[in-house]
């Protein structure tokens, strides 16, 4: 079984966790990035990100390499924006929608203000699946690293491998 972590990170918090998951599973890692960068500081960060979520935007992505046929399991990692997953994942999913069918899906969501479960439901609906096999939720792991977070990541990875 081959796995890949597909992630979007604006400020680095999701990236840290995505890299930890990929290292623990010894699997591939794919960062998706938008061509047009979102503001990463101040009020405009929330305005532009929230606007794109509510307006169902699908931003153009920088080039990347991904062959879905190489993977049985996809682990998405996304920050939560306005109780939703990031618009960049919509673009990625739309490009690979047919190739993603029948895969095993797991999810990591990180947030500051809540909405992780709602974001997971919306992403599952967008993927046209009943839900995620495993869902890891952490609160601001970049600014609030902890031993507990590391334990949660380890447990999440064990569940993906079926050893928990």
* Helix (H) or strand (E) run with residue 137 in it: strand 134-139
0.85 exceeded by pTM:
yes
Q: What is the pLDDT of residues 61-109, one digit of tens each?
A: 999 999 999 999 999 999 998 888 999 999 999 999 999 999 999 999 9
Q: Which two tokens stand for residue 86?
A: 């990031």
pLDDT string in tens for the chain (164-residue length)? 699 999 999 888 999 999 999 999 999 999 999 998 865 666 555 555 565 666 678 889 999 999 999 999 999 999 998 888 999 999 999 999 999 999 999 999 998 777 899 999 999 999 999 999 999 999 888 777 788 999 999 999 999 998 75
Do 20 and 49 form a contact (C-beta atoms < 8 A)? no
* Helix (H) or strand (E) run with residue 73 in it: strand 73-79
- 112: region left, alpha or beta (phi > 0 left; psi from -120 to 50 alpha): alpha
Q: Could you give the C-alpha distances from 66 to 7, 13, 58, 59, 118, in angstroms and in order?
A: 13, 23, 18, 18, 27
CA 42 to chain centroid, in Å, comes to: 23
């Amino acid at each position: 079984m081959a796995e890949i972590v597909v992630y979007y990170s604006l400020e680095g918090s999701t990236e840290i966790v995505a890299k930890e998951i990929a290292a623990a599973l010894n699997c591939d890692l794919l960062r998706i990035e938008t061509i047009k960068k979102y503001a990463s500081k101040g009020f405009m960060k929330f305005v532009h990100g929230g606007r794109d979520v509510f307006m169902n935007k699908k931003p153009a992505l920088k080039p990347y390499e991904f062959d879905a046929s190489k993977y049985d399991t996809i682990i998405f990692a996304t920050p939560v924006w306005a109780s939703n997953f990031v618009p960049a994942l919509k673009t990625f999913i739309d490009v690979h929608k047919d190739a993603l069918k029948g895969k095993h899906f797991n999810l990591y969501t990180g947030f500051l203000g809540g909405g992780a479960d709602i974001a997971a439901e919306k992403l599952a609906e967008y993927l046209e699946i009943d839900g995620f096999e495993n869902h890891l939720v952490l609160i601001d792991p970049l600014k609030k690293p902890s031993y507990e977070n590391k334990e949660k990541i380890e447990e999440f990875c064990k569940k993906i491998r079926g050893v928990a």
